[in-house]
Amino acid sequence: MGNETTESTYPLDEVDQGIIYELMTDARRSSAPAIAEKIGVSPGTVRNRIEDLEAHGIVKGYHAHIDFERPDGRLSTLFMCNVPFAERETIARAAYQIPGVINVRMLMGGRRNFHVLAVGEDTDDLRRIGTTLSELGIEIEDEMLVENDEIRPYEAFGPDDSRNQHPVDFISSSTGSEVVELTVRADAPIEGETLSDAVENGILVDNPLVVSISRDGELLTPHGDTTIRRDDVVTVFSDTGVGEETVRSFVGGEREGIH
């Protein structure tokens, strides 16, 4: 995957989407023949498409999902930070050099526009990471211990029956705070509403903070006049935990299967 093109967009057809869905479901066990059988094409087509997706920088890598606490009690922490927009790329490269930093997410704008996920041996180690981030000029606005982290494939790329599942990914802390990633369904109460109207009309009642919206490959900074659309991937933060009504407003149904 070292020969990526520099094109800004790359159209995905149903075959590409199906391949991406299967890779996100379990890349380690998703062989070309297995994917081909599920989406109804030849293994050769799958191999060629994966090569194209890698070359265009859409499939950027295949990573293990690790529970760092299980083997020896390491702690994972999410730092929610502010950095100047023009300096994000430079600061991100510097942040990755800090031992323990395993992920950096850059948002388009607003407060808390820079998220850093780090793993430490203990609280002193996490404090060291936080201090080093601050020395880079990063303003740490909040931080939380990560209790659980679930990753699921993007349901809009999956088969029709996958869209009956509840698309909820979340990170929760021992203090009760939660960062929740919700994929908006067509029958969600908030679909087609602006955020301000959703609050005024009683659709959003828990006063959560909508941190970002991923839409058609772009990461948006939400405002009161931002309209929520089907298949938006919305990141929501709440100091007291994201309530059932908030989850239902974005995905409909009950908040089940989340532990």
In DSSP terms, which residues pair with 182 in a beta bridge?
A: 168, 234
Which DSSP string corresponds to 39-108?
Answer: HTS-HHHHHHHHHHHHHTTSS--------SHHHH--EEEEEEEE--GGGHHHHHHHHTTSTTEEEEEE-S
Note whether 181 and 169 are within 8 A (CB). Answer: yes
Same domain? For 50 and 21 the reply is yes
Residue 1 lies in a domain: no
Residue 61 lies in a domain: no
pLDDT reading at 239 higher than 60: yes
3-class DSSP assignment, residue 118: strand
If one counts every other C-beta atom within 10 angstroms of the C-beta of residue 1, the result is: 12
**What mean pLDDT comes out for the span 40-61?**
92
Which residue has tokens 């990063």?
138
Spatial separation of the C-alpha atoms in residues 213 and 211, rounded to whole Å: 7
Domain that holds residue 26: 14-55
Domain CATH number, residue 166:
3.30.70.1450
**What mean pLDDT comes out for the span 146-159?**
74
Same domain? For 36 and 96 the reply is no
Confidence of residue 258 (pLDDT cuts 50, 70, 90): very low
Using the 3D structure, point to which of 146, 180, 205 is the last residue of a domain: 146
Residue 256 lies in a domain: no
Same domain? For 165 and 240 the reply is yes
Same domain? For 166 and 224 the reply is yes
Selected residue with higher pLDDT from 172 and 27: 27
Residue 21 lies in a domain: yes
pLDDT reading at 6 higher than 70: no
3-class DSSP assignment, residue 132: helix
Position 255 scores a pLDDT of: 41
Spatial separation of the C-alpha atoms in residues 132 and 81, rounded to whole Å: 13
Residue 89 lies in a domain: yes
Spatial separation of the C-alpha atoms in residues 39 and 180, rounded to whole Å: 30
DSSP type of residue 127: H
Same domain? For 244 and 159 the reply is yes
Same domain? For 108 and 140 the reply is yes
Same domain? For 190 and 235 the reply is yes
pLDDT over 90 percentage in the chain: 39
Q: What is the number of domains present in the chain?
A: 3
Range of lowest pLDDT (148-162, 166-180, 204-218, 226-240): 166-180
**What average pLDDT does the chain have?**
83
Distances (CA, A) of 107 to 113, 121, 130, 172, 255: 5, 28, 19, 20, 27
Same domain? For 107 and 20 the reply is no
Position 144 scores a pLDDT of: 86
Domain CATH number, residue 48:
1.10.10.10
List pLDDT tens digits, range 106-120. Answer: 987 677 899 999 999
**What mean pLDDT comes out for the span 157-170?**
58
Confidence of residue 83 (pLDDT cuts 50, 70, 90): very high
Distances (CA, A) of 248 to 73, 227, 237, 244, 259: 34, 17, 15, 6, 16
Residue 8 lies in a domain: no
| The two structure tokens encoding residue 259 | 């532990």
Residue 105 lies in a domain: yes
